[in-house]
Amino acid sequence: MAVSDEDKALAGRLTRISPLVWRLTAPNAGIMTGPGTNTYIVGSKKVAVIDPGPDNPEHHAAIKKMLSDNGLELGWIMPTHTHMDHSPLATTLKNNIGGQLAGMRAPDIITQDQTFVPDINLQHGDTITADDFTLEVIHTPGHASNHLCFLLKEEQLLFTGDHIMEGSTVVIGPPDGNMKAYLASLELLHDYALEQIAPAHGDLLSHPHKVADSIIQHRLKRENKAKAALTQLGSGALDQLVPIAYDDVDPRLYPVAAFSLKAHLDKLVEDGFAGVELITEEAKEVAIWKLVG
């Protein structure tokens, strides 16, 4: 389904995307955030705000205005995870407008939002129920260990946060990011009846299961290139393996690719295909990967 220009996610734009859901895109467009973080407002009386976004005064004012213009009561504030472009506005909204914070706390990592302290600690399988909607919680670690997707049962619409984005590849950055968990969390979506995906970055996606499958295939292709690089070198450090496993990308992207390759190599170790040892080279510790078996 093609999205018309006036329906595309755009900073500051409010769009009704379904009978129960509005999307308001935050003014934080960028390389990592696409058109900006999508905040979704679910319900027609007491509403849930999914992915409130960064603690930005303009976005705060836009959410407040939208709620009051439509006579909506803020019931729940639900970040999909605690990266800085998703959850920091949650506490500000609660303090200024009301509602309960629902989600999973950030792991103890400096780059994550430690201000998010949930009133309701969500677990896999939990539901948030209002008069006119039910959101089911699906725990989807991979991009972040505390990442949750929310399924709007009435519309079979899945809010995927950063688990699946439109138009770009999700960053899997170890140690909180984990490739093996990410692929398992994509497989998990097959257990649910889904009509559409509402991502935190970009537009709505149709055929959710096909989308999940194509991401899995894409990642496994790269995993095979990582294996081939190990086979070719016998053993190697990350900076030796990157140019081989990513021979199809612009060398300027190697520093970013190294992150992803590390995630793939960690998965190969977890799967028992590779081993890693730390050696000291010029007073620096270097990880050397090799195939095993």
Encoded one letter per residue, x for contact with Zn ion by CB under 5 A and - for no contact, window 156-175 reads ------x-------------
What's 176-242 look like in SS3? CCCHHHHHHHHHHHHHCCCCEEEECCCCCEECHHHHHHHHHHHHHHHHHHHHHHHHHHCEEEHHHHH
C-beta nearest to Zn ion: residue = 83
Q: In the range 21-40, which residues lie near Zn ion by CB under 5 A?
A: none
**Of 43 and 177, CB closest to Zn ion:** 177
Burial 25-40 (b: 16+ CB within 10 A, else e): bbbbbeeebbbbbbbb
Is residue 83 part of the contact set for Zn ion (CB under 5 A)?
yes
**Cross-strand bridge partners of residue 46:** 73
**Of 40 and 133, CB closest to Zn ion:** 40
**Of 79 and 236, CB closest to Zn ion:** 79
Is residue 201 part of the contact set for Zn ion (CB under 5 A)?
no
What's the token pair of residue 270?
A: 């977890």
Q: How far is the CB of 103 from Zn ion (least distance, A)?
A: 13
Q: How far is the CB of 164 from Zn ion (least distance, A)?
A: 12
Is residue 113 part of the contact set for Zn ion (CB under 5 A)?
no
Is residue 264 part of the contact set for Zn ion (CB under 5 A)?
no
Closest among 239, 277, 232 to 257, alpha carbons compared:
239
Residues in contact with Zn ion, counted by CB under 5 A, come to a total of 2
Interacting residues with Zn ion (CB under 5 A)? 83, 162
